A and B are shown apart, each in its own frame.
Chain A
């Protein structure tokens, strides 16, 4: 069973980040929210392991500002 990767794992981080912003460009808040939801579901299916997703949810929650 794989563990969630929390070390740098993106080859060209700046490009990936720019791709994310570009996908949302010109969208309304509602359209962006919907896009994000579709993206999360697609990525969740790609990951395919509930334990990894649970670790990701925990990691995301843990990084929320105090």
Chain B
């Protein structure tokens, strides 16, 4: 009993709601204490919105599961107040190597752009990610934020009551009924809430099995991502080796479709496979073993009245590209400010429909990328394999073929192009990366970073432009963040936000996405953009 994932972190305790004469009514109930549910709860509660998290378990994720967390996710956890812990514990990596058969054909450097507070990626076991979120939830709870984690609370039934949802919940001490103004289902790919509501979850099944083995070893493999196509130790299949904290290594071996899962999971079958890969002399212990298959699919709609799906319950992708947990965090980032405004009455209920539009756009992008990676990694026809092998053979000799090698296109934050919340771009000379809909890229400002000052509220970012310091439109307060190119020691701010323009005014959403931008402050235009970004026109 020494692994963090074996310790109950939010053990069952009796809630007064279980003894209520009439069912208690709560503002937001979140089902599932995984990365997405915890992030949503912390984000809501720290902004004063009551959030009750129910989970049928009482521990963090068993085994490492998601291990690759992207910069955007770290920026979101910074806003929640626990990004630093993630980065301190995580393993930062930049170099990837690609092997084909017994030879290295290509290597790539993520070459992270300078001038960001956070690295492009860290590797961190999901159980640590969740542990830090649980700790953060406890901190905001101690500060008085309305958050509660209820372990061993299993939802048995959901009933739509129009203006709320009724939940029947089972606990070690029997059942109780709870009412939720809003329900967020973060209960994973197999979402019981989705099944109880009889909702669709369609997509493409990939007929393949993968073995995950997390091994603990003192090996001098470098901190790099190694990917093998058709290696000698796993003929005709693929393999991945990636480092996690605490000397834990993620090994991912493709097994094919017609296998006996129980047989393959036995140590006497796993250990020889790993020895063939790592070398006979390497000493290692197995921490966690799992065999998984996957699908690429999503729900047709993520919002169903007062029930909203986020993370794997709404969409599922292959693991290649680290697009599962990372996209789930973007879901909660997108949802929370909208839900808060609707609950506070500062935006109409229809603002939540933009969660559907924007995050379905994100999910489709992730499904497309992840399906293409899977088609490359596990070719499903003879011709597909011939092309795949041709790309790999060419990549060893010719640079042009390297961008075609697809061992996973790593998660990038989604720009909400075409979102109804965007105001058409009025800064034609501005950089494309900060167009309306895009997530704000970070930039160093001497002793701090730009993103430290954005988020949680609407911000008017002015670059060498005049504007009022505070501003209100339709009950929505906007705060100005005034910057000048004189505050730009590295030139990153200018390159990322001005481009060819001499000055700019940006309207930035609470989730750090650009809503609108102009060459100068124009009160009528800014007011219209705020209304538009909050679903009021």
* Residues of A that sit less than 8 Å from B by CB: 33-34, 37-38, 40-42, 45
Contacts and interface: CB of A to CB of B under 8 A. Distances in A.
Contacts of A40: 387, 390
Contacts of A45: 400-401
Given A41-B401, A41-B404, A45-B400, A34 B386 contact: yes
Contacts of A34: 386, 389-390, 393
B391 interface: yes
B394 interface: yes
A56 B389 CA distance: 22
A1 B400 CA distance: 21
Contacts of A38: 390, 393-394
Nearest to B398: A42
SS of A interface (majority): helix
3 closest A-B pairs (Cβ-Cβ)? A37-B390, A45-B400, A38-B390
A38 B390 CA distance: 5
Interface in B205-219: none
Given A38-B394, A40-B390, 19 more contacts: A33-B386, A34-B389, A34-B393, A37-B386, A37-B389, A37-B390, A38-B390, A40-B387, A41-B387, A41-B390, A41-B391, A41-B394, A41-B401, A41-B404, A42-B394, A42-B398, A42-B400, A45-B400, A45-B401
B100 to A, nearest CB: 13
SS of B interface (majority): helix
B234 to A, nearest CB: 21
Nearest to A33: B386
Contacts of B391: 41
Interface string B401-434: 1001000000000000000000000000000000
A41 B387 CA distance: 8
Contacts of A37: 386-387, 389-390
Nearest to B390: A37
A39 to B, nearest CB: 9
A43 B100 CA distance: 23
25 contacts: A33-B386, A34-B386, A34-B389, A34-B390, A34-B393, A37-B386, A37-B387, A37-B389, A37-B390, A38-B390, A38-B393, A38-B394, A40-B387, A40-B390, A41-B387, A41-B390, A41-B391, A41-B394, A41-B401, A41-B404, A42-B394, A42-B398, A42-B400, A45-B400, A45-B401
A33 B387 CA distance: 9
B438 to A, nearest CB: 24
Contacts of B401: 41, 45
Nearest to B388: A37
B1 to A, nearest CB: 54
A34 B391 CA distance: 10
A38 to B, nearest CB: 5
A12 B391 CA distance: 30
